[in-house]
Amino acid sequence: MRILFGVQGTGNGHISRSRTLARALRGAGVEVDYLFSGRPADGYFDMAEFGAYRAFSGLTFVTHEGKVSPWRTLQAASPLTFWRDLRALDCRAYDLVVSDFEPLTAHAARRYHKPSLTISHQASFNWPIPRWGEDGLSRQLMRHFAPVSRPLGLHWFHFGQPLLPPVIDPLVAAPDNGNILVYLPFEQTEAIAALLSRFSQQRFVCFHPAIRNVSQWRNLRFEPPSREGFLEVLRGCRGVISNAGFELASEALSLGKKLLVKPLHGQFEQLTNGKTLEMMGLATLMDCLDANQVRHWLDSAALGVISYPDVAGEVARWLAAGAEESVPALSRRLWARTLFPEEVSDRLSELEGGESLSDCWLSQVSVVN
């Protein structure tokens, strides 16, 4: 089998997930070519896993001062460039096109009538799951931005739908080093420093795309983006302060790290992520950079580890076998091997209430005692 795999490069979460899938697909003997879009070609890092990948401008959202800027997004868009790149992208030699919310490959598959699927968190919104802040424009964007014929949605829980658990690397926690990992790429570094420097007894390590060299200021260490360096801090940290992206939250939960999330304003997916984490009892949510909420969260305890199965390996083997097993069957099999802390499982049972989630699904959720 030969696959063209498109990855949305705007956020590092898409790349991290695809990096995990790339290793699994190679292990399953699947031949894959990778295409990235959404950021400048020189803005990618730690990309050895993808071989001779291609990078295009694509389409992306532009943020300013912690919120999506419609005007800057419109200014950055180049429909003519996108159309030219789409016409030049020939996917007829591939058996399957996979898109992680990447529009060029998705539209190319539709143009050449090629089988296509997505493996992404965005695909979970094809089903009636909890959501907040969604409007007509958001629904149309999710539907038409990167359309595929078969969606595989990823989420922290199935909510009675044929979703899959998160795709993450098998991470092992390191001894607690007392640090708090900070990843707020859409916020200004000055605002982050003003917020966290007041907690002088707490050490923070902040990764940010605006940083070029490691620097120390009071109790904050600022570092440039680095996948290996980031994972090293994540494994040993006491907790994570971040925007409400899907992949980092998934990695933190798999390590039992407590979470404080601030959704990106104007982005319904991040608002939904934050509200969902709060609803499930998995994170504390703050609407702005709020010192009082940070103080309360610093004194809180972590809930414990969520143990997700090797979703990447299962999906890779599923694809290599021709994707003959139904997605609902694959979903049930993976959730049956997911272990939740007891407090989280109790919260999910309360949310279920005998109506919103089917008994047959909830009965398959395992509990960590």
What is the band of 347 on the pLDDT scale with cuts at 50, 70, 90?
confident
> Which pLDDT value is given to residue 279?
93
> Which pLDDT value is given to residue 43?
87
What is the band of 365 on the pLDDT scale with cuts at 50, 70, 90?
very low
What is the band of 135 on the pLDDT scale with cuts at 50, 70, 90?
confident
- How far apart CA 34 and CA 36 sit, in angstroms, is 7
Q: Which tens digit of pLDDT belongs to each residue from 11-26?
A: 788 999 999 999 999 9
What is the band of 145 on the pLDDT scale with cuts at 50, 70, 90?
confident
- How far apart CA 323 and CA 319 sit, in angstroms, is 5
- How far apart CA 331 and CA 360 sit, in angstroms, is 13
Q: Which DSSP state fits 219?
A: T
Averaged pLDDT score across all residues of the chain: 89
Q: Which residue has the higher pLDDT, 213 or 357?
A: 213
> Which pLDDT value is given to residue 350?
78
Query: Which whole number is the average pLDDT over 125-150?
Result: 85
Q: Which tens digit of pLDDT belongs to each residue from 267-326?
A: 889 999 999 999 999 999 999 999 999 999 999 999 899 999 999 999 999 999 999 999
28 CB-contact burial (10 Å; exposed 0-12 / middle 13-18 / buried 19+) = middle
What is the band of 144 on the pLDDT scale with cuts at 50, 70, 90?
confident
| Distance, first Cα to last Cα, the chain | 42
Strands of the sheet containing 150-153, edge to edge, are: 54-56, 31-37, 2-8, 96-100, 116-120, 150-153
Contact 258, 268 (CB under 8 A): no
Check pLDDT > 90 for residue 148: yes
Check pLDDT > 50 for residue 355: no
Contacts of 195 (CB under 8 A, 6+ apart): 289, 291, 294
Query: Which whole number is the average pLDDT over 37-61?
Result: 86
Q: Which DSSP state fits 123?
A: G
Find the helix or strand (DSSP H, E) in which 343 lies: helix 342-352
Check pLDDT > 50 for residue 362: no
Q: Which of 97, 264, 115 is nearest to 185 (CA)?
A: 264
Q: What is the DSSP secondary-structure string of 261-284?
A: E-PPBT-HHHHHHHHHHHHTTS-E
Check pLDDT > 70 for residue 263: yes
350: amino acid identity, one letter = E
What is the band of 139 on the pLDDT scale with cuts at 50, 70, 90?
confident
Contact 188, 195 (CB under 8 A): no
307: amino acid identity, one letter = S
Query: Which whole number is the average pLDDT over 146-162?
Result: 94
- How far apart CA 141 and CA 119 sit, in angstroms, is 17
> For 6, phi and psi rounded to 5 degrees?
-100, 135
What is the band of 256 on the pLDDT scale with cuts at 50, 70, 90?
very high
- How far apart CA 264 and CA 146 sit, in angstroms, is 21
Q: Which residue has the higher pLDDT, 144 or 359?
A: 144
Q: Which tens digit of pLDDT belongs to each residue from 62-103?
A: 555 555 545 455 455 567 888 888 898 999 999 999 999 999
Check pLDDT > 60 for residue 30: yes
> For 143, phi and psi rounded to 5 degrees?
-75, -40
> In whole angstroms, how far apart are CA 200 and each of 175, 217, 234, 295?
22, 11, 21, 12
Contact 147, 110 (CB under 8 A): yes
Q: What's the whole-model pTM score?
A: 0.89
Q: Which residue has the higher pLDDT, 258 or 71?
A: 258
- How far apart CA 334 and CA 155 sit, in angstroms, is 12
